[in-house]
Structure 1
Amino acid sequence: MDRDLNSAVNIMVTFLTSDDLSHQPSLKEESFLRTWKGFTATNSPKICPSANA
């Protein structure tokens, strides 16, 4: 399970990095982060500070 969570975090970081580099609207990133926080809050009792920030 931890390995799956690490993969998800890596995907999220890659998504956000490519999002910043391509200068997409910040609203897209905010909506993604809101979805991610909802997912981690409901599916993972252990959230690392970087994912929670």
Structure 2
Amino acid sequence: MLPLMPGPDPTAFGAIAIALTIGAGGAVLAFAGLLGWTAVELVCLIEHYGEA
């Protein structure tokens, strides 16, 4: 365990840091999912127009 730093409640700071980390991870996952879905849609559109 790291020594507790003086000042504001370290548990509150840790909770905020964890929330930010989870939030950032969720945003990255959502962005990656959006990009992946867009890529799949583009491929489907290109194939569809290629057949037409």
TM-score, L = length of structure 2: 0.44
Q: Which has the higher contact order (CA 8 A, sep 6+)?
A: 1
